């Protein structure tokens, strides 16, 4: 199992090095639907422990997911099913946040058509949840909705489905309004972040989200 993980890690790093290098530092003009790897952190509101707890067993930390934590983990793993242009790096559900790497890989024109169709469905579905009066609210939503095929579209969809299903278990569940993102610029950063996520449970008390 360890050898399989190392091989997968090596393959992912090589793939990043060959295909997803990012040289631009102009984040305000960055297209978050562009091919690349993104380190994402999504927190619960007020960093409340909605996903479970980390316990020490034989001097080793272990993340014990509760039912909502299982949902958060499951729906993250299913992102590529709904957004076929996305690949996943490492992911870890923590007590009050989720760390994960999303890799956008829009290979060709055909894939981009799929991107547009899928993203349009997601945005349209999200907009249907907002009541409209004389089309005013609908018009506002169309202006502020995330652009199709972007990180914002993916995360908005993810947070929405987790919230909907979590409310069957705990009506108090809420996400922090925004999410943290970091564009991964090179293979060294990719490897460092992969390892950070992998070791996040072991180093829980050193995490800035620890409480």
What domains does the chain contain, in order, with CATH numbers?
Answer: 2-206 (3.30.70.1290)
pLDDT of amino acid 29: 52
Contacts of 117 (CB under 8 A, 6+ apart): none
- Phi/psi of residue 111, nearest 5 degrees: -60, -40
Residue pair 171/160 in contact (Cβ under 8 Å)? The answer is no
What's this model's pTM, rounded to 2 decimal places? Answer: 0.72
Q: What is the pLDDT of residue 205?
A: 87
Residue 30's pLDDT is: 54
Cβ proximity of 92 and 40 under 8 Å? no
**Over the Cα atoms of the chain, what is R_g?**
18
* Per-residue pLDDT in tens (0 to 9) along the chain, 211 residues: 444 433 444 555 555 554 544 433 334 555 667 788 999 999 999 999 999 999 998 889 999 999 999 999 999 999 999 999 999 999 999 999 999 999 999 874 344 444 444 444 444 434 333 333 444 444 444 444 556 788 999 999 999 999 999 999 999 999 999 899 889 988 899 999 999 999 999 999 888 888 8
Query: Are the C-beta atoms of residues 186 and 23 closer than 8 Å to each other?
Result: no
94 phi, psi to nearest 5 deg: -105, 175
Tens digit of each residue's pLDDT (9 = 90 or more) over 44-86: 999 999 999 999 988 899 999 999 999 999 999 999 999 999 9
Count how many Cα atoms sit within 13 Å of the Cα of residue 120 in the half-sphere of its side chain.
6
Count the neighbouring beta carbons within 10 Å of the beta carbon of residue 140: 12
Burial profile 164-199: b = 16 or more Cβ within 10 angstroms, e = fewer: ebbeeeeeebbbbeebebebbbebebbbebbeebee
Cα angle value 176/46/33 (rounded, 5°): 20
| pLDDT of 63 | 97
């Amino acid at each position: 199992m360890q050898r399989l993980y190392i091989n997968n890690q090596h393959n992912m790093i090589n793939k990043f090095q060959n295909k997803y290098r990012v040289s631009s530092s102009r984040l305000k003009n960055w297209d978050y639907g562009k091919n690349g790897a993104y380190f994402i952190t999504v927190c619960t509101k007020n960093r409340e422990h909605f996903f479970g707890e980390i316990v020490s067993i034989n001097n080793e930390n272990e993340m014990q997911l509760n039912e909502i934590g299982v949902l958060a983990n499951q729906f993250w793993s299913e992102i590529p099913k709904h957004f076929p242009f996305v690949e996943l790096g490492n992911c870890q559900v923590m007590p009050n946040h989720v760390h994960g790497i999303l890799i956008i890989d829009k290979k060709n024109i055909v894939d981009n058509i799929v991107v547009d169709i899928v993203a349009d469905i997601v945005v349209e579905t999200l907009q249907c949840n907002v009541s409209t009066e004389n089309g005013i609210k609908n018009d506002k939503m169309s202006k502020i909705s995330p652009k199709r095929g972007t990180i914002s579209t993916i995360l908005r969809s993810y947070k929405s489905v987790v919230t909907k299903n979590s409310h069957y278990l705990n009506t108090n569940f809420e996400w922090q309004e925004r999410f943290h993102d970091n564009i991964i610029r090179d293979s060294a950063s990719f490897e460092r972040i992969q390892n950070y996520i992998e070791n996040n449970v072991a180093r829980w008390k050193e995490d800035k989200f620890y409480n």
